[in-house]
Structure 1
Amino acid sequence: MFNKIACILFISLCSVVYSQKKISSDFDYKVTYNLHYTLDSTKLSDRKSEYMVLFLGDKLSSFSSRAKLFKNGVVVKGNTASTSKESITAFPYVILKNTKENYLAYTLQIVYNYFYYEQPSGLFDWKIHDEIKDINGYTAQKATTTYSGRDYIAWFTTDIPISDGPFKFNGLPGLILEISDTQNHYSFTFYGFEKLEPPVPFKINLKQYVLTNKEKLLEVQYRYRQDPFTYANNPNVKITPEVHQAYIKAFTEMLEKENNPIEKD
């Protein structure tokens, strides 16, 4: 149930409607990537890393941080480490790619509220090059594209003829093993590929999510991260107005340092 603050945010999303989409799939493969990234463009040497996971089925894929899986009872059963360091992520989203209907859904949970927006899968105009190299025993071929203010170099392999990859990337005639923007601010490197036996069942009911657009979702996420106390409106949390303002100031300064998102526009 939406709390009072969430209801206000809900009303402000004037284009929001409830979707009727129910999606289910069996995931047959799991790909793990190591993401190296730089959130602060003024401190490019301050690079961080995080493991990201792509689950693949015949009609659906799911991409998220590995830490996110610690909270996912469908994919990881019996895990009680949701408050551990390993479950903390800078990338709380889950991206679903529906290969049959050619769209992707960017989903995000904010406290007890669930949001998503959709984009067509065909976001990328790829140019395939003749250059090849070996990546962990796979023959990989070079491809380049431009997306959301960044130029990218990707390496894909037809040894795994699945047209998918990390983040929103897809559309090549094989699995993307590596992809990096030319400034090396965001770099996904291949860590492992495995067949899941038995396949892992996955279900999601987007009827329980609020459908919005990218700009409005980022706006709500910013409001939450800047002032989580107001957003959550938890009556059990008692802080003075002075302390509250100090938290808002600290969180705002933190967000100002996250000035280098993977999508620039």
Structure 2
Amino acid sequence: MPNKKVFSLFFLIFNVAVFAQKKIKTDFKYKVTYSLQYTLDSTQLDSGKSEYMVLFLGDDFSSFSSRAKLFKNSVVVKGNTASTSNESITAFPAVILKNPKENYLAYTLQIVDDYFYYEQPSNLFDWKIHDEIKDIKGYAAQKATTTYSGRDYIAWFTTDIPISDGPFKFNGLPGLIIEISDTQNHYSFTLYAFEKLEPPVSFTINLKQYVLTTKEKLLEVQYRYRQDPFTYANNPNVKITPEVHQAYIKAFTEMLEKENNPIEKD
């Protein structure tokens, strides 16, 4: 039986090309930290979790990821990339790159030693701006609402920070989004800290090292890896019996079935 990892890579490469032209280089001047409260299991809404997410902002590009991801990102944070502490564990392993000026968004994901990404226009949101104002951590924040991927959202942005960006894929308002939540409060981002980076942090990513794919195909491969990481990684140093292997697959499948409430429903 062919190795599932090889099949997955062949499937992706056969259907799409490696996009060899995009090399992103910028200096990040600001760092925005958000506290994210989320619920992955819609059948247990009282079992919410939380973690910190980070948005780096430059003149042209921004980068959004979990703070835990930064512990493994040698470009931004140098240190023990093999860390398995609680601070390096995340339910959101992707890095999202945005350039609203060019209407460009790249969702990047590393799976073991493989690198993938898909592209979207960044203007995904049809915002309605309201007159309501409130104070959030000393910033005058204005209300805006939108619908995206099966969820209705209430956002609060501030023109005190005139940067048209925000957490996750959100952007397109006249100022920085400092708070946003879906109306069911399954996913809620709240500003934790905003800081100017002095000196700025250099950032470079070469997407020619990534396989360009689609959102649907990337989710398929990610699911296959998380359901059976032993087969995907194909590490000869890991020795398990077929019985133990099947027990792991069963346990991982049950875990994935409980993750029935992703931030993007479609």
Q: TM-score, normalised by structure 2?
A: 0.96
- Report Cα offsets for 1:35-90 as digits up to 9, x if no partner: 00000000000010000000000000000000000011111123567221110001
Task: Note the 1:1-265 alignment, pairs <5 A.
Answer: 5-13=4-12, 14-20=14-20, 21-79=22-80, 82-265=83-266
TM-superposed deviation, 1:237:
0.8
Rounded Cα–Cα distance in structure 1 between residues aligned with 2:58 and 2:4: 37
Q: Which letter does structure 2 place at the counterpart of 1:19?
A: F
Structure 1 residue runs without a partner (length 5+): none
TM-superposed deviation, 1:98:
1.8
Q: Which letter does structure 2 place at the counterpart of 1:17?
A: A
SS of residue in 2 equivalent to 1:78? coil
Which segment drifts farther, 91-100 or 8-17?
Answer: 8-17
Q: Which letter does structure 1 place at the counterpart of 2:189?
A: F
- Report Cα offsets for 1:129-188 as digits up to 9, x if no partner: 000000011000000000000000000000000000000000000000000000000000
Tell me if the contact between 1:74 and 1:202 (Cα under 8 Å) persists in the aligned partners.
yes
Q: TM-score, normalised by structure 1?
A: 0.97
Structure 2 residue runs without a partner (length 5+): none
Rounded Cα–Cα distance in structure 2 between residues aligned with 1:200 and 1:79: 19
Q: Percent identity?
A: 84
Kindly report the root-mean-square deviation, in angstroms, between the aligned alpha carbons of the 2 structures: 1.3
Tell me if the contact between 1:5 and 1:232 (Cα under 8 Å) persists in the aligned partners.
no
Rounded Cα–Cα distance in structure 1 between residues aligned with 2:149 and 2:15: 23
Residues 32 and 208 (structure 1 numbering): CA distance in 2 closer, same or farther, change over 3 Å?
Answer: same
Which 4+ residue blocks in structure 1 deviate beyond 4 angstroms? none
Tell me if the contact between 1:6 and 1:113 (Cα under 8 Å) persists in the aligned partners.
no
